Amino acid sequence: MKKIEVVGREILIAYKNNEDFISITDIAKFKNPDAPADVVKNWLRNRNAIELLGLWEKLYNPDFKLVEFDQFRNEAGFNYFVLSPKKWIETTNAIGLLSKSGRYGGTFAHKDIAFEFASWISVEFKLYLIKEFQRLKEDENDRLKLEWNFQRTLAKVNYHIHTDAIKENLIPEKLSKNQISYIYANEADVLNIALFGKTAKQWRDDISTGSAPKEKRNIRDYATIEQLVVLSNMESINAMLIQQGLNQSERLTQLNQLAIAQMKSLLRHKDIIKKMK
């Protein structure tokens, strides 16, 4: 629900199925601020109004009830003929009018119909209404374009950052014999060295950015989602290897090979990475 101001009067605009519906109750207040509903009902008694509504429904509503419409059209204009928006909607299954209750209630009409109703009220008012409505749509379009351009630019930047980071940092290098033969006391560092190529302490000593004290930084807090996925898999595999009785050096070799293989797999299947992000 949005609002525009036309000749000092507030006009509500509702949205349904991506279409704009303007409050003709608010428009009617330009003619009779005390009884706008009566103005709408008087308009609906007019044969030209019924013809307009019926034509619009024929164009856009495949479920419009033509027999009931013909009955209203034949009776329109007679002194005894009275028609409310609600009765029109329920009897003909119309979608061009909306009857809303509550604080922001009233009769709303599709913009095509609302502009014609405004013309019946006052040609001058219709022109001001169209002007303010166009201004609203231009503002909406500008915001959408700005948001779309921002997202498009951000996506492009993130794409390059992502692909460059994968190429430069995410595929672990094959460990040297000296690294494999080295016995790490901390089991967590078995996984760290297999995936990141260094222990947690070595990583803290190397890192030079960030506001947190070095001793409180955790290598896994800075890991990418791809690295965390592989790390999670490595934890379960390492537990299984321990149960099998493999020594630390053997497990390190297998975990390093696993890390290399899984990171390459994630690189090949980029769709999986995007979904996880």
Check residues 73 and 263 and name the one with the higher pLDDT.
73
| Burial of 172: CB neighbours in 10 Å, binned 0-12, 13-18, 19+ | buried
Summarised one tens digit per residue, pLDDT across range 2-14 is 899 998 889 999 9
Q: Domain limits of the chain?
A: 2-144, 171-276
Check residues 98 and 17 and name the one with the higher pLDDT.
98
Range list of β-strands (E), 161-266: none
State the pLDDT at residue 150: 56
State the pLDDT at residue 148: 62
Is the pLDDT at 132 greater than 70, yes or no? yes
What is the residue type of 152?
Answer: R
Separation between Cα atoms, residue 234 and residue 194, nearest integer Å: 9
